């Protein structure tokens, strides 16, 4: 073997890439995860974790309209490999102030061996907490659009692991539904299952499937192809196309989103993971210093029907000011009739005065966010005129609602809106939205989004439960920011619960507080009425809990029982524990604390919280690193603590 080949093999070995014949394997930096590309008659891949098969040999490729399928018969004309080990500073610190981005990458340049000799690139990245791959397709010989009918990516899952599955009735949805535990074999050809989809393999192995960096492409959902546990990539059709029709059109090059497998020994590895943001590009906003996370009051129909009355709006501004929150959200009807050709998002309704609202808020050190209906934003490109006007008014951000789609056209619309908002120094909160994909790294003004069955469902549904709330930490939140709108302070027993105005919630006050620690939303919108929050037990916690974090540690829990998470802000640690509907005691080991002596300020359930869920006890105790705090939670209960060094 000549010296050049020896050096190449040594280099490949160092960065975790092993090639023999038509199989090329990429290892994670710690060697625990291996993704292998097979380039035989069919292009495929497989994944292992510590020698355990995570994905059995599975298919790669595409079906395109008026073209033969691209499934294999490729020559590898070139390849490149690299190791990346960097730290980047987060503009909006969702989980970590400093994010470690460490992976091995393989890029394959493929060309068909026979006519029409089309080309395709496949990029693979393997991290210590997961693996991801994406494709790049280019123009064909024929001038004009190429049209993807089907992406052939499959996930051939071994065995029949437990899976937490969320299903939607169709491809056009607000991504607001419950996650239910099933054997993976529950899925079938008709399934339209959302992501992230969590699976427990046993043998200390947890896996979640999702996607990252969706741009100029359709989102995908999960079904099967008739073979048990052979999961398929079901792209969202372009509007007007049948399910079997065109999903993506492009006339130049197009990159697919990253197909992501989050992998870890515990579900906590997935909760702590930054792989979704790491798969996105660095921040493109030249000076993002104007992007300020924080809490917001909200004049929503949660506590009454919205009538857009100046005294009510000012009452919520006063709430934000009293609580030290930087924002207040003026909700629907501020511009009068909405979702109508008559709607004008550049003019306020006659019964309110937007300049007066903004001036009053400014006098209270509060900034204003405003709600918009998506069709009113899009009609005649109204946003191009409105967004510069909002900046001139002094509006800090926008909440856009009722998109309820994630096809290629809507994905591109999101990008247009986010970019235009950034140009006009506006934060963006999408409701009726699809799941996050890590875009907050690139466009940090895209500060949060819904895409969850959140607190609003207490008002009109019986679907909300402590079980649902616990599962969100292990499922939906793996994708990123979640505008759940916590803060329901009218806490009742399950037996007392009903849909009403003002809305009530069937969990304890301590459980409601825990949402502010466990759920990730740099802009956290608080749902309840000022009279239900001010001077009430637990309101003091909402004055001090941050919305962004320097570090995160999963302590313990399981999707079926409870979740306990610690998050650091500066030198202070906040702990949140959320329980399901069975009362229990757990032990919190404080081994995440640096050595030293600490004081823990605790808000917890009482012995009476099962009877009166609003009841809350507050205590202080000294502690140190490695100590154990015993936590007893009521059914539907919770616990929060602020831990800081003793002076």
Q: Are 422 and 461 in the same domain?
A: no
Task: Tell me whether residue 532 is in a domain.
Answer: no
- Cis ω for the linkage preceding 51 (within 30 of 0): no
What CATH number is attached to the domain comprising 345?
Answer: 3.20.20.70
**Rounded CA gap, 104 and 445, in Å?**
30
Q: Are 75 and 205 in the same domain?
A: yes
Q: How many domains does the chain have?
A: 3
* Token pair of 97 as six digits: 């102030």
8 Å CB contact between 472 and 166:
no
**Rounded CA gap, 512 and 471, in Å?**
15
Final residue belonging to a domain, choices 259, 278, 297: 278
Q: Are 429 and 377 in the same domain?
A: yes
Task: Tell me whether residue 562 is in a domain.
Answer: yes
Query: Among 15-29, 278-292, 398-412, where is mean pLDDT lowest?
Result: 15-29
Which has the higher per-residue pLDDT, 3 or 497?
497
Final residue belonging to a domain, choices 278, 301, 320: 278
**Mean pLDDT over all residues of the chain?**
95
Task: Give residue-wise pLDDT tens across range 149-193.
Answer: 999 999 999 999 999 999 998 999 999 999 999 999 999 999 999
Task: Give residue-wise pLDDT tens across range 445-456.
Answer: 999 999 999 999
Task: Tell me whether residue 589 is in a domain.
Answer: yes
Task: Give residue-wise pLDDT tens across range 635-647.
Answer: 999 999 999 999 7
Q: Are 509 and 647 in the same domain?
A: yes
Q: Check pLDDT > 50 for residue 322.
A: yes
Task: Tell me whether residue 2 is in a domain.
Answer: no
What sign for the dihedral angle of Cα 221, 226, 229, 231?
A: negative
What pLDDT is recorded for position 12? 56
Final residue belonging to a domain, choices 278, 312, 328: 278
Residue range of the domain that includes 212? 12-278
Polymer length in residues for the chain: 647
Q: Check pLDDT > 50 for residue 487.
A: yes
Q: Are 296 and 272 in the same domain?
A: no
Q: Are 267 and 135 in the same domain?
A: yes
- Residue 570: other Cβ atoms inside 10 A: 10
Q: Check pLDDT > 50 for residue 20.
A: yes
8 Å CB contact between 152 and 196:
no
Contacts of 23 (CB under 8 A, 6+ apart): 36, 37, 38, 39
Task: Tell me whether residue 585 is in a domain.
Answer: yes
Strand partners, 577: 564, 639
DSSP assigned state of 514: H
Q: Are 436 and 476 in the same domain?
A: no
Mean pLDDT of 218-228: 95
Q: Are 230 and 130 in the same domain?
A: yes
Q: To the nearest 10°, report the CA torsion of 17, 56, 434, 440.
A: -20
Q: Check pLDDT > 70 for residue 525.
A: yes
Q: Are 501 and 388 in the same domain?
A: no
3-state secondary structure 607-642: CCCCCCCCCCEEEEEEEECCCEEEEEECCCCEEEEE
Task: Give residue-wise pLDDT tens across range 70-124.
Answer: 999 999 999 999 999 999 999 999 999 999 999 999 999 999 999 999 999 999 9
What CATH number is attached to the domain comprising 506?
Answer: 2.60.40.1180
Q: Check pLDDT > 70 for residue 567.
A: yes
User: Distance of CA 114 to CAs 72, 79, 322, Å?
Assistant: 11, 20, 71
What pLDDT is recorded for position 19? 60
What share of the chain in percent tops pLDDT 70?
97
Instruction: Go through 545-569 and write b for each residue having 16 or more CB atoms within 10 A of its CB, e for each that does not.
Output: bbbbbbbbbbbbbebeebbbbbbbb
Query: Where does 397-441 have alpha helices with state H?
Result: 408-423
Q: Check pLDDT > 80 for residue 13.
A: no
Q: Are 435 and 492 in the same domain?
A: no
Task: Tell me whether residue 531 is in a domain.
Answer: no
What pLDDT is recorded for position 4? 37
Confidence of residue 22 (pLDDT cuts 50, 70, 90): confident
What pLDDT is recorded for position 10? 40
8 Å CB contact between 513 and 487:
no
Q: Are 265 and 286 in the same domain?
A: no
What pLDDT is recorded for position 304? 84
Task: Tell me whether residue 210 is in a domain.
Answer: yes
Task: Tell me whether residue 633 is in a domain.
Answer: yes
What pLDDT is recorded for position 617? 98
What pLDDT is recorded for position 306? 77
3-state secondary structure 103-128: EEEEEEEEEECCCCCCEEEEEEEEEC
Q: Are 242 and 292 in the same domain?
A: no
What pLDDT is recorded for position 577? 98
Confidence of residue 21 (pLDDT cuts 50, 70, 90): low
Strand partners, 264: 206
**Rounded CA gap, 299 and 276, in Å?**
33
pTM tops 0.85: yes
User: Distance of CA 474 to CAs 86, 280, 567, Å?
Assistant: 27, 22, 16
């Amino acid at each position: 073997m000549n010296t050049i080949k020896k050096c190449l093999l040594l280099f490949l070995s160092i960065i975790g890439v092993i090639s023999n014949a038509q199989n090329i394997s990429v290892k994670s930096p710690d060697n625990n995860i291996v993704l292998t590309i097979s380039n035989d008659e069919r292009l495929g891949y497989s994944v292992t974790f510590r020698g355990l098969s995570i994905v059995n040999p599975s298919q790669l490729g595409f079906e395109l309209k008026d073209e033969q399928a691209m499934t294999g018969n490729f020559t590898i004309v070139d390849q490149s490999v690299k190791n990346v080990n960097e730290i980047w500073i987060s503009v909006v610190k969702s989980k970590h102030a400093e994010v470690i981005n460490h992976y091995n990458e393989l890029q394959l340049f493929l060309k068909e061996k026979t006519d029409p000799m089309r080309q395709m690139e496949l990029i693979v990245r393997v991290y210590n907490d997961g693996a991801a791959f994406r494709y790049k397709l280019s123009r064909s010989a024929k001038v004009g659009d190429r049209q993807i009918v089907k992406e052939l990516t499959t996930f051939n899952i071994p065995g029949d692991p437990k899976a937490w599955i969320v299903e939607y009735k169709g491809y056009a949805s607000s991504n607001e539904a419950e996650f239910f535990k099933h054997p993976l074999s529950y899925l079938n050809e008709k399934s339209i299952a959302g992501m992230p989809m969590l699976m427990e393999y046993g043998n200390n192995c947890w896996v979640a499937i999702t996607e990252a960096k969706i741009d100029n492409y359709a989102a995908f959902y999960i079904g099967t192809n008739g073979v048990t546990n052979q999961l398929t990539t079901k792209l969202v059709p372009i509007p007007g196309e049948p399910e079997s029709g065109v999903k993506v059109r492009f006339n130049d090059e197009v990159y697919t989103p990253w197909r992501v497998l989050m992998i870890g020994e515990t579900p906590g590895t997935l909760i702590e993971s930054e792989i979704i943001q790491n798969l996105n590009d660095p921040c493109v906003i030249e000076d993002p210093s104007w992007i300020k996370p924080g809490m917001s009051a909200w004049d929503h129909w949660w506590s009454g029907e919205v009538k857009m009355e100046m005294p009510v709006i000012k009452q919520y501004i006063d709430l934000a000011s009293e609580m030290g929150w930087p924002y207040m959200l003026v909700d629907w009807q501020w511009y009068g009739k909405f979702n109508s050709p008559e709607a004008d998002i550049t003019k306020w309704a006659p019964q309110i005065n937007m300049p007066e609202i903004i001036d009053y808020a400014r006098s209270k050190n509060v900034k204003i966010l405003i709600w918009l209906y998506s069709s009113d934003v899009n009609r005649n490109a109204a946003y191009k005129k409105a967004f510069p006007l909002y900046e001139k008014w002094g509006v800090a951000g926008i909440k856009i609602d009722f998109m309820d789609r994630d096809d290629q056209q809507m994905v591109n619309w999101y990008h247009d809106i986010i970019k235009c908002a950034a140009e006009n120094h506006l934060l963006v909160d999408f409701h009726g939205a699809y799941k996050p994909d890590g875009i907050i790294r690139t466009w940090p003004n895209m500060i949060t989004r819904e895409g969850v069955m959140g607190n609003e469902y207490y008002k009109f549904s019986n679907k909300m439960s402590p079980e649902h709330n616990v599962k969100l930490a292990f499922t939906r939140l793996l994708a990123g920011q979640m505008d759940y709108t916590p803060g329901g302070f009218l806490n009742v027993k399950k037996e007392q619960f009903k849909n009403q105005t003002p809305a009530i919630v069937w969990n304890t006050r301590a459980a409601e507080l825990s949402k502010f620690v466990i759920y990730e939303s740099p802009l956290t919108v608080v749902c309840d009425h000022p009279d239900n929050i001010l001077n009430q037990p637990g309101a003091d916690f909402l004055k001090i809990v941050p919305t962004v974090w320097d570090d995160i540690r999963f302590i313990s829990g399981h999707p079926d029982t409870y979740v306990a998470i610690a998050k650091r802000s500066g030198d202070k640690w906040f702990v949140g524990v959320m329980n399901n509907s069975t009362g229990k005691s757990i032990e919190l080991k404080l081994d995440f604390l640096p050595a030293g002596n600490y004081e823990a300020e605790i808000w917890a359930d009482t012995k009476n919280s099962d009877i009166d869920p609003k009841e809350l006890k507050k205590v202080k105790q000294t502690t140190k690193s490695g100590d154990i705090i015993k936590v007893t939670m009521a059914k539907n209960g919770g616990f929060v603590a602020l831990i800081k060094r003793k002076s």
